[in-house]
Amino acid sequence: MIHPALKLPKELEVYRSEIDKTVKPCVRITTEKGETSLTQSKFGGQPYMPKECTHPKDEHNHYMALFAQINFSEVPHIEAMPKTGILQFYLSPVDDMYGLDFDDPYSQKNFRIVFHEKVVEESELITDFSYIPDLGDDYESIVEEGRMKFELIASPVSNGDFRFEELLDADLSKPINHKKYEDLLELYTEELAAEGHRIGGYPYFTQMDPREKGDPEILLFQADTDDEIGLMFGDCGVANFFIREEDLRNRNFQNVLYNWDCC
C-alpha cells in the first residue's frame, strides 16, 4: 500500500529507518458540521437503512442513535478494509457510558456495529424516522450531524500502543535541547501522537491501551473530541473500535472491542 511519506521532527530524522518500519497507512477524518444524505459518510444524523432492516435497539428497548457512518466508496482504500459498503456505529441514547460495558467491551447490547455490503437506491430506504420517540432534554446526542472528509496518511506506531517498544527498535530516552520537550520520547509521544478521527493505523489514548500483549486486534475506527460537531467522550476523551484482521477481511463485525477513555 502506497502512502504519503512520513514527516518527522528534525530531532527524530536519525531514527527514520526504524520509525518507517512501523508505519501503516491510515485514513485521517476531518469533519464539517451540516446536513448529510442518507448514504453519506458522517457523524450523527439519520442512518442509511434499507426498508427490510430492523433499527438496532439497546438493552432497554430504546432505538439506538447513529453515531458514525462510513461509506467506503468515499474512502481511500487501505489493506483489509472494504472498498464498498456502509459501516455504521450505533450507541444507546440513554446509557451513561455511551454504550460501553467495561466488564465486557465486546458486548454489543448498548452499542451496535452494522455493515451493509450492498448499497441500494434511496427509494428502497427508510426516510421517515418519526417512529423514534423524543427522549427529551435529559438525553442529548453525543454528537451533532456532520460530514466526513478523508485523507490518506502515514501512521507510525503511537507511544500509547501496547506494542510500541516491540515495534520501534530505537532508544528514545536521550535528553535533548528543546524548548518544549526534555527527551526524544516526550517529543515522539507529542509530535507523532495518533490523535483525531481515523480509520486504521495506530490508536490514541488519554489513559492506556485496553489490549494486552498477544491480543490480535487492530484499529478499525477511532473517534476523538471534536468541537466542530460537538463530540466529546467524558472530559476530552477518545473512543476506539478494534477488530481482528481475519474478522475484518470476512466482514464480520460481531466481535469488535469498543473502548473509550478520557482525561
Distance of alpha carbon 238 from alpha carbon 198, whole angstroms: 11
User: Cell for 39?
Assistant: 448514504
Q: Do 99 and 68 meet the contact criterion of CB atoms below 8 Å apart?
A: no
Q: Where are the extended beta strands (E) located within the chain?
A: 24-33, 42-43, 65-71, 86-91, 111-116, 146-155, 197-200, 217-224, 238-244, 257-261
Is residue 17 classed as helix, strand or coil in its secondary structure? helix
Q: Which CATH number fits domain 10-261: 2.30.320.10, 3.40.50.10900, 3.40.630.10, 3.90.79.10?
A: 2.30.320.10
Residue positions counted in the chain = 263
Q: Do 220 and 255 meet the contact criterion of CB atoms below 8 Å apart?
A: no
Q: Do 62 and 94 meet the contact criterion of CB atoms below 8 Å apart?
A: yes
Compute how many other C-beta atoms are within 10 angstroms of the C-beta atom of residue 45: 22
Cα distances (Å, whole numbers) of residue 142 to 45, 208, 219, 240 = 11, 23, 22, 15
Residue at 151: amino acid letter = E
**Domain locations in the chain?**
10-261
What is the sign, positive or negative, of the torsion defined by CA atoms of 261, 81, 92, 61?
A: negative
Q: Do 181 and 187 meet the contact criterion of CB atoms below 8 Å apart?
A: yes
pLDDT for 139 equals 79
pLDDT for 41 equals 99
Closest CA to 99 of 84, 110, 89: 110
- One digit per residue, the tens of pLDDT, for the chain of length 263 reads 556 789 999 999 999 999 999 999 999 999 999 999 999 999 999 999 999 999 999 999 999 999 999 999 999 999 999 999 999 999 999 999 999 999 999 999 999 999 999 999 999 999 999 999 988 777 788 999 999 999 999 999 999 999 999 999 999 998 998 989 999 999 999 999 999 999 999 999 999 999 999 899 999 999 999 999 999 999 999 999 999 999 999 999 999 999 999 98
Q: Where are the extended beta strands (E) located within 93-250?
A: 111-116, 146-155, 197-200, 217-224, 238-244
Q: Do 28 and 150 meet the contact criterion of CB atoms below 8 Å apart?
A: yes
